[in-house]
Structures are given as C-alpha cells and as structure tokens.
C-alpha cells in the first residue's frame, strides 16, 4: 500500500487547486479522479468570469492549464480511477480503488456534484448545442442575439436564473417542471415584473432539434389536463438542483447535510484530517473561482494539520 502525505479525491477546480498548494508546500500529493480532470467546469463552452482571462476561454482549456500547473509542482494525478471505499484506521486514511489501495495522513474530498437531469429525449444529444445546466456560464453566449430562452426548474434557483436571463433577452419562459411552482413569492413577483412567462403546471416531455443539430424547441405537457404542445425556443437552461457525490464519506462518520459534506469556514469536516472543498460541500458557491478558493483553503488547513501531526509524533 503506497503512502502519501495527502490524497485529494476529485480533479475539478477545487481538487486541482488544492493539489497545487499542497505540492508547493512539499507534501507528497496524489489526486484520484474517476473520470477525466475538470468535472463540469471542463464542459463549459466559454468561461468569461475567471480572473485573469478577460477574453474568456473554453472550460477544457482552463482545466488543462490547471492540470499542467499542478503537475509542474509534482502532483501525481490518477485519471479514470474510481475510489470505491474509504476508511480510517489508527488515524490513517485508507482509500481503495478497483485496482489499488492507498493510505495518507490527510484527505481532501473535492468530488463535486452532478446536476439533476430531466431525462427526456433530446437532452443528452443536444447538450452543449442549446442545452445547458449552468445559466451563469452559458447565458452570455446568447446576449444581443434576440433569442427565446427557456429556464426549467421548480424552485428559487430556477427563478433566480430566469431573472438573470432577462438581462440577455426579453423573451424568457420559465417551466417549473412540477405541478406547482415552489419559488418564493418575492422571486415570482420579480419574474412577472420583468416579463418572464411562467408556464405553471407544465413539464418538459422532449427537447426538439432543428436544422443544424441545435435546440429548436420543447414539447411540454400539462400535469392536470394532459395537454401537449410545442414551443419554439433557441436554448434550454435546466436548474433542477444538484446531487453531491458524497456517499463514501458518510459511512465513516463525516457529517452530511442534504448529501453535502458539512464544513466550517476553513473547509474542515467534523473528523480530524478530513477536509472538503467545492460543490460537494455545504457552503458550495457553484462557481469555478469559488471552488478553486475553497481548494486552496482546504490545502492550507491540511498542511497545518500535518505539521501539528508531525510535531505530536516527534515530540
């Protein structure tokens, strides 16, 4: 079993930043990623709100720079290796994958979250071609193009995103995808004030494709009457919430709240030597820059913890 000072689970912006910080401090660092580095950030077609890149750049390019930066300082990254078990024995953190077993003195979970999907025809095929799960990331691509945009979601997140879309176009439709629209009244009032059309009681049955292989509309169904109709639109933004990927940590006693890892303002969990950062945490900011910041904080605190641990062993 190979031993590391610290292992980071997840190679998104939070994990890569954490690895950069820990490796620069001389810690033997391993990042384990079940897929390819980047997570949802790598899927962004254009990132325009990450400091230092005023012209914007594709998410995949930004992640490539992060990976190269981390590797420059000696981070070891294992791609396509899924952690399937996590345990703690005599203070050591043990992580098992399908092919290997590792131990470490500190661990940072930066496993991100998976956005909930509608699971309807056309959604997967047209992802990136008019279907988006991040209005903040992708809505600016439609600015000034006089397009009709749909926001799908039942609550405050969808309402806030729909309101943001009114800065892009005056043709915004919100479909709760639920029998009831659960957003707070203040959000509903703002949406109506800004001319957003709210189709309460409807759900999306299919996302339609038009010539050119891009979104051309949606097929919607009324929950009560069963009425089905098509609406022509240019893009579909989906805000059905997210599912943090945190199953591993709960079994060893790490505190969870609504499937998110509970951390304090220094990214510490309730168990010593276990930290978390990014979209899997209770204070997630859902932005690349906030995930990176949380990764840096987690790394700094992990380094402090390891220094204390070393003093206790030698003292």
138 has catalytic annotation: yes
């279907």: which residue's tokens?
A: 131
137 has catalytic annotation: yes
Residue 180 exposed, middle or buried by CB count within 10 Å (0-12, 13-18, 19+): exposed
**Residue-wise DSSP of 39-106:** GGGGG-S-B-SSTT-TT-B-HHHHHHHHHHHHHHTT-EEETT--EEEEEEETTEEEEEESS-EEEEEE
Annotated catalytic residue, options 5, 104, 105, 138: 138
Q: Are 112 and 133 in contact (CB under 8 A)?
A: no
184 has catalytic annotation: no
Alpha helices (H) in the chain, listed in sequence order: 13-24, 59-72, 135-138, 156-165, 185-193, 247-250, 288-314
SS3 content of the chain, % helix, strand, coil (to 5): 30, 30, 40
Q: What are phi and psi of 60, to 5 degrees?
A: -60, -35
């509903």: which residue's tokens?
A: 188
Q: Are 75 and 29 in contact (CB under 8 A)?
A: yes
Annotated catalytic residue, options 5, 105, 137, 279: 137
Enzyme catalytic residues: 134, 137-138
């Amino acid at each position: 079993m190979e031993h590391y000072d610290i292992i980071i689970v997840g190679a998104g912006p939070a994990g890569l930043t954490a690895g950069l910080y820990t490796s620069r401090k001389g810690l033997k660092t391993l990042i384990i990623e079940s897929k390819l580095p980047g997570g949802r950030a790598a899927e962004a077609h254009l990132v325009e709100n990450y400091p230092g890149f005023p012209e914007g750049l594709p998410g995949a390019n930004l992640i490539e720079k992060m990976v190269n930066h981390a590797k420059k300082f000696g981070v070891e990254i294992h791609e396509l290796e899924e952690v399937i078990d996590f345990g703690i024995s005599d203070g050591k953190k043990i992580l098992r994958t399908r092919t290997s077993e590792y131990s470490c003195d500190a661990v940072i979970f930066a496993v991100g979250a998976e956005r909930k999907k509608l699971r309807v025809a056309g959604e997967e095929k047209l992802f990136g071609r008019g279907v988006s799960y991040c209005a903040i990331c992708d809505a600016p691509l439609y600015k000034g193009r006089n397009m009709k945009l749909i926001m799908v979601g039942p609550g405050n997140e969808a309402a806030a995103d729909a309101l943001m879309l009114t800065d892009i176009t005056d043709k915004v439709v919100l479909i709760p995808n639920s029998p009831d629209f659960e957003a707070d009244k203040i959000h509903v009032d703002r949406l109506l004030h800004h001319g957003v059309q709210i189709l309460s009681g409807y759900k999306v049955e299919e996302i339609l494709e038009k010539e050119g292989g891009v979104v051309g509309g949606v097929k919607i169904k009324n929950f009560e009457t069963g009425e089905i109709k098509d609406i022509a639109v240019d893009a579909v933004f989906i805000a059905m919430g997210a599912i943090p990927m945190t199953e591993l940590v709960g079994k060893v006693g790490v505190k969870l709240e609504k499937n998110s890892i509970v951390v304090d303002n220094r990214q510490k969990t309730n168990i010593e030597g276990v930290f978390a950062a990014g979209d899997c945490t209770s204070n997630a900011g859902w932005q690349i820059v906030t995930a990176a910041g949380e990764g840096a904080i987690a790394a700094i605190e992990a380094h402090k913890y390891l220094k204390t641990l070393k003093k206790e062993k030698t003292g």
